[in-house]
Chains A and B, each alone.
Chain A
Amino acid sequence: MTHFGKSIRSRREHLHLDDKRFSLRQVALRIGIEPAYLSKIERGEVSPPSEATTVRLAHELGEDPDVLLALAGKVSGDLQNIIRKRPKLFAELIRQLKEAPDHALLHVVREVRDGEW
């Protein structure tokens, strides 16, 4: 079982304890895949699904899509596009920040500016 499969199975089964709609079959149908395929994903018998399916799965299970994509060994398409547009700048930025603690990273997160109104 892959880390990805184990993680989503654990989350889904946790939700299923309180809500029957989180059965393997119902979750699979809601995200538009066959239950047998989801079962194989959870057991790590197949590679993690496409980005779109992983994001739908993340929303369904209340997980962060970027975290689930990372577990699947992927980087979201929008992030790839951001890096491709200014590869040198963003590569440098990410390398500079790789060892920074979380609280320091929060300081470089861009804030929405409030103005005069």
Chain B
Amino acid sequence: MITLKNDNLEFRFPEVHRDARCTIEFQRTLRIPDDDRDYPLPPGLGRFPLRHIDDFARRLPERWRRRGGVIMPMHQAEAMWISFGGYSGYPFAVKIATGKICAISGNPWMNHLNKDPKDYVVLPEQPWLDGYCVEKGVIRQFVAMPLGKGYTAEEQLTGAAQHGGLQIVVYPMKRKRYKQLMARATVGMGRSDELANVLYCSAPEPMGLSPGGRMRQEIYDDPYGLDAWDQKHSRRCFVTIANSTQWMAITGERPPTVPPSALEYTEAGLPWFEWYGGDVAAIDGARKLEKLASVAQLGKKKGERPLPENESVDVTQVVGLSAGGATLDREFTSDEILRS
């Protein structure tokens, strides 16, 4: 089952194993400059709010309702990263797509796992995913853009603005494999209404995700092999992304504020992050994703300026995080930002 708790998607597979549970949340962050330089990991600035799409069914176009899942607000040109957690050592394979284009392989959505090219990440090895896997050790940041303008990965690869949003499917490790893994472990698994009517009638486009600036982040290979995953038991979720105006009209809530720019954040002396994943090998970038134009590159070609505040920054303060550490925290509270 998938439940929603404190803006976290909680995936549980009690029919497989009582330990088979994990959470996925979407972190607000600053947008790294889209200037073809490689940046370290930006901070988390708190979770995006998530709501059941069914709670607002009467205010939504039919095709949004039909997909089910949850709805989340993002400002245009805002960035986001995905945080995986909440597991008690139970491994999972997770596929992430934007506009039904796999963020790891660049291939169209498939309801099963693939090895060649690999189209999933493995938990708990992969703590975060910040964007599209474009090169070995480099991703292009997830940046929200309106569907229909040609910037999203979906539009660049398919020529159509059909789906938008984010799609997730989670597969637990097979129970038998997990028990074998546990038996082999000699040490602990330490790694541990008016406006709404307008929305309804005009059937607006939701937001999609586009490739932004380059960031150093490895996507780790599967250390268990495709056979380890229980593909008979999976949970899927469609995350519809609404822009801030749509979000207010649909939910009546204000969306989170616009995050600081990368320049403001860096000049305030706040840290960026690097992740050291240990001995797990990283996979190569996906050829299809490598060819995508970033939002800034495409904007230049179109004679548009889609990204405000895109100045390059010199990052000097980088905090190293590792799997052996007691915390994987790269999240800041708003109080911490204000105090800086």
A interface residues (Cβ-Cβ under 8 A, vs B): 15, 18-19, 21-22, 30, 32, 56, 59, 62, 65, 106, 109-117
Question: Given A110-B52, A112-B70, A114-B235, are A19 and B327 neighbors across the interface (CB < 8 Å)?
Answer: yes
- Our pick among B2, B52, B67, B167 for the contact of A116 (Cβ within 8 Å) is B67
Interface centre among A19, A106, A110, A112, by most B CB within 10 Å? A112
Segment among B272-280, B287-295, B306-314, B332-340 that sits at the interface with chain A: B332-340
Verify B2–A111 contact, CB threshold 8 A: yes
Question: Is B1 an interface residue, CB under 8 A from the partner?
Answer: yes
Kindly specify which of B3-11, B118-126, B174-182, B198-206 makes contact with the partner chain: B3-11
Categorize the interface residue count of chain B.
Answer: 20 to 34
Q: Whole-angstrom distance between the alpha carbons of A30 and B339 in the complex? A: 11
B2 near A112: Cβ-Cβ < 8 Å = yes
B32 CB to nearest chain A CB (Å):
24
Q: What are 7 contact pairs spanning A and B, CB under 8 A?
A: A22-B326, A32-B336, A65-B6, A112-B69, A113-B54, A113-B69, A114-B236
What are the residues of chain B within 8 A of A112 when measuring CB–CB? 2-4, 9, 52, 68-70, 237
Q: Is the CB of B326 within 8 A of A111?
A: no
Are B326 and A56 in contact, CB atoms less than 8 angstroms apart?
Answer: no
> Which one, A65, A106, A113, contacts B68 given CB within 8 A?
A113
Known interface pairs A113-B69, A114-B68; 13 further A-B residue pairs with C-beta atoms within 8 A, sorted by A's residue number = A15-B326, A19-B325, A32-B335, A65-B6, A110-B52, A111-B1, A112-B68, A113-B52, A115-B68, A116-B66, A116-B67, A117-B67, A117-B238
Q: Which chain A residue lies CB-closest to B237?
A: A112
